[in-house]
A and B are shown apart, each in its own frame.
Chain A
């Protein structure tokens, strides 16, 4: 079987989202860099893979996909059985629903609160040479605290978000949280001991360590 291909820079959060799942199922893969500075993501070749001109894109034989969460689920569905992992829980109605719920929460609630801090503190200064917008950071941190209140309550009852089992929902939190830990506001998590412990469990996973190595915190 030919290795699957993931198109996009390895340090990109949405590329990492897919790569950590590939690592969890032990699938062979190749990362094909897309040069964002040179606008390669808007080239006709890439638009044929991702019509919105974004990264990542993905190829497995004839199958070409975009949208990192859809790609990651495809990877998990295809390779999980042979790898002996079950991160989607599609065999159990209730468990699958809980995985879906917390995957949606990451996308709609956790990420919108946390990612502006990553963009303002790390990404924009490095890539656009602009100073951090402290107002955006402060507003985001206030939202994030409210979100982490809910996470703390949840993770006080269960080791992982969907229940007492690691799932796709937890792994989805890794890429942006990894970069958040490189901002001056990492210590925010200290006020949420169960959240912090959950993050440390995730960060200690071999798959997460391996992919993190290609995501330097200094740009």
Chain B
């Protein structure tokens, strides 16, 4: 039975899981969850993700939530362990460090920006709160200074090898690139080049298409 991912492709957390499946080439089925109709809070979905969030994931009788946990499971199972480096203490630690940074710094600044610039106008019929966007753009820029310094020394975040830490950035990076604030990365040439590199991976291109198709449908 193919693995199942439950959630909309346009969701950054769903996309994170999809790109890992594409990286390892495992068969999967994307099962839609209509969040505009509250399907993520339905008893069926909550039985898979007890906090009523997306994604949820199923492999046989194993049910998982939390995109970064699901991603690691997929990579370990599907022959993608080179993206985790768990056989090498110091390399694995660097992957973990930058995965934490992705979550704690990049995602936490980008998430309110994406919410205000995409979700609010497109799905909630509201107006973007520019104050929230500006505050988070400032936080993002401070983080990007650190990324720029890091990527001036190494090709990728964990070192000179690509890892889940890099790929995990792609969904929010995609929304940054297609949104009104893409030019913010122009001041960080190594970051800009690194993002372009990640976005050119076949797995990332494939999932980007799924994300775009999902948004067009709305």
**Which residues in A have some Cβ–Cβ distance to B below 8 Å?**
51-52, 63, 65-67, 69-71, 73-74, 77-78, 90, 93-94, 96-98, 100-101, 103-105, 107-109, 147, 150, 153-154
Contact B105 A52 (CB under 8 A): yes
- Of the listed stretches B25-33, B89-97, B166-174, B206-214, chain A binds B89-97
Specify which of B50, B103, B104, B146 is in contact with A51 (CB 8 Å cutoff).
B146
- Which B65-111 residues sit within 8 Å CB-CB of chain A? 65-66, 68-70, 72-73, 76-77, 86, 89-90, 92-94, 96-97, 99-101, 103-105
Known A63-B93, A96-B73, A97-B73: A70·B100 in contact at CB below 8 Å: yes
Q: By the criterion of a CB under 8 Å from any partner CB, how many residues of chain B are at the interface?
A: 31
**Which residue in chain A gives the minimum CB-CB distance to B60?**
A94
Check B150 for interface membership: any CB of A closer than 8 A.
yes
Q: Is the interface of A mostly helix, strand, loop or mixed?
A: helix
Query: In the complex, which residues of chain B have a beta carbon less than 8 angstroms from the beta carbon of A103?
Result: 69
Partner of B99, one of A52, A70, A96, A108: A70
Q: B residues near A, CB below 8 A?
A: 50-51, 62, 64-66, 68-70, 72-73, 76-77, 86, 89-90, 92-94, 96-97, 99-101, 103-105, 143, 146, 149-150
* With A77-B92, A93-B77 as contacts: A100 and B100 at CB distance below 8 Å: no
Inter-chain contact B96/A94, CB cutoff 8 Å: no
16 sample A-B contacts, Cβ–Cβ < 8 Å, listed by A number: A51-B146, A52-B146, A63-B89, A63-B93, A65-B94, A65-B97, A67-B104, A70-B99, A74-B93, A97-B62, A97-B64, A97-B69, A100-B66, A101-B66, A103-B69, A105-B51
